Amino acid sequence: MLQREDRKLETIPVGTLGMIPLEGCRPLGEKVDYYLAKWRKEWESEHKSTLAFAGYQRDSYILDASVPRFGSGEAKGIINESVRGYDLYLLVDVTNHSLTYSLFDQENHMSPDDHYQNLKRIIAAVGGKARRITVIMPFLYESRQHKRNNRESLDCALALQELVGMGVDNIITFDAHDPRVQNAIPLHGFETVQPSYQFIKGLLKNQKDLTIDADHMMVISPDEGGMGRAIYMANVLGLDMGMFYKRRDYTQIVNGKNPIVAHEFLGSSVEGKDMIIIDDMISSGDSMLEVAAELKARKARRIFACSTFGLFTNGLEKFDKAYEDGIIDRVLTTNLIYQPQELLDRPYYINCDLSKYIAYIIDTLNHDGSISQLLDPSERIQNLLNKYRNHQL
Q: How far apart are CA 68 and CA 363, in angstroms?
A: 30
User: pLDDT at position 295, please?
Assistant: 95
Radius of gyration of the chain (CA): 22
Going by pLDDT thresholds of 50, 70 and 90, the confidence category of residue 255 is: confident
- Render 204-251 in DSSP notation, one character per residue: HHH-TT---STTTEEEEESSGGGHHHHHHHHHHHT-EEEEEEEEE-TT
CA–CA gap between residue 68 and residue 37 (Å, rounded)? 28
What pTM was computed for the model?
Answer: 0.92
Bigger pLDDT: 47 vs 27: 27
Nearest C-alpha neighbor of 13 from the set 80, 61, 71? 61
Query: How does residue 114 score in pLDDT terms, banded at 50, 70 and 90?
Result: very high
State residue 1's pLDDT score: 53
pLDDT given for residue 6 in this prediction: 56
pLDDT 10s digits, 215-254 = 999 999 998 888 989 999 999 999 999 998 877 888 888 8
384 — pLDDT class (breaks 50, 70, 90): very high
pLDDT of residue 46: 62
3-state secondary structure of 166: coil
Closest alpha carbon to 138 in 172, 114, 111, 112:
172
Q: Could you tell me which of 179, 265, 259, 178 has the C-alpha nearest to residue 220?
A: 265
CB 300 within 8 A of CB 326: no
DSSP reduced 3-state for 158? helix
| pLDDT for position 5 | 54
Is the confidence at residue 112, as pLDDT, over 60?
yes
Tell me the average pLDDT across 60-86: 93
